Each structure stands twice: as structure tokens, then as C-alpha cells.
């Protein structure tokens, strides 16, 4: 059973701090990794994807991938109250587009 696990929440950080979200996956054949943000009652929206080892930065967000450790993380710098949401880690096989989601980590940014 291929699994994706995320650090349990809820996670609370003060406004302006760095939020760190972690994810591990079991399938070594996984090729692509995604971070989604989901506000309550809404559908997931893509923040970033990464498929090469190392860091990928986009504005205040940095995704980090370590395939040897089967680990992917998301850092949110200068956290804002509007970042308060559930963050979903997702892992995809390349052969077809089956995406396995983790259970999500709830983030609260306290003003």
C-alpha cells in the first residue's frame, strides 16, 4: 500500500515566522511531488510542484525534495494570516496520473 504521511497538526506559527511542513512517502518509484493548499470548504489549489532533488523557490514558498530519504517539505517564509489553511502533500507516479494525497496538515498563522 503506497502511503503519504504528513506531520500531524495543527501547526501554529506567529505572523512573520517560517512555517515548516513535512511529508514522507513510501513508493520509491514516485516521480513528482506537489503541495496543495486547501481552505475550509474549498477544493485544493496547487502551490508548487517539484521533481528534482534539492530546493525550488517561488516567492515566499520553498519546496525541498530528498528522494534518497523519501522526504519532501514546504517552507513558508514571512507567514501571513491568509496562509492559514490545510496543506496537502501529493505524490504522483509518472506512468499515469494517479496522485496519492497525504492526510494534510492544518496551519494557523496567528496575527
Partner 1 sequence: ETGVTQSPTHLIKTRGQQVTLRCSSQSGHNTVSWYQQALGQGPQFIFQYYREEENGRGNFPPRFSGLQFPNYSSELNVNALELDDSALYLCASTLDRGRRDNEQFFGPGTRLTVL
| Three cell numbers written together for 10 | 495543527
Comparison of 59 and 103: residue with beta carbon closer to partner 1: 103
Comparison of 40 and 111: residue with beta carbon closer to partner 1: 40
Nearest distance, CB of residue 97 and partner 1, angstroms: 5
Taking CB under 8 A as the binding criterion, the range among 10-18, 31-39, 59-67, 72-80 that sits at the site for partner 1 is 31-39
**What's the CA gap between 97 and 12, in Å, rounded?**
33
Taking CB under 8 A as the binding criterion, the range among 53-61, 63-71, 77-85, 88-96 that sits at the site for partner 1 is 88-96
Q: Distance of CA 6 to CAs 16, 24, 25, 96, Å?
A: 23, 6, 9, 23
Rounded to a whole number of angstroms, the CA Rg of the chain reads: 13
Residues at the interface with partner 1 (CB under 8 A):
4, 31-32, 34, 42-46, 49, 51, 88, 90, 92, 94-104
Amino acid at each position: 500500500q503506497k502511503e503519504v504521511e504528513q506531520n500531524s497538526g495543527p501547526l501554529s506559527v506567529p505572523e512573520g515566522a517560517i512555517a515548516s511542513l513535512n511529508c514522507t512517502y513510501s513508493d520509491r518509484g514516485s516521480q513528482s511531488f506537489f503541495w496543495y493548499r486547501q481552505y475550509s470548504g474549498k477544493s485544493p489549489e496547487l502551490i508548487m510542484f517539484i521533481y528534482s532533488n534539492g530546493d525550488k523557490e517561488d516567492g515566499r514558498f520553498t519546496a525541498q525534495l530528498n528522494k534518497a530519504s523519501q522526504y519532501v517539505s514546504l517552507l513558508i517564509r514571512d507567514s501571513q494570516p491568509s496562509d492559514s489553511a490545510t496543506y496537502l502533500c501529493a505524490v504522483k507516479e509518472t506512468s499515469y496520473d494517479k496522485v496519492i494525497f497525504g492526510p494534510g496538515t492544518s496551519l494557523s498563522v496567528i496575527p
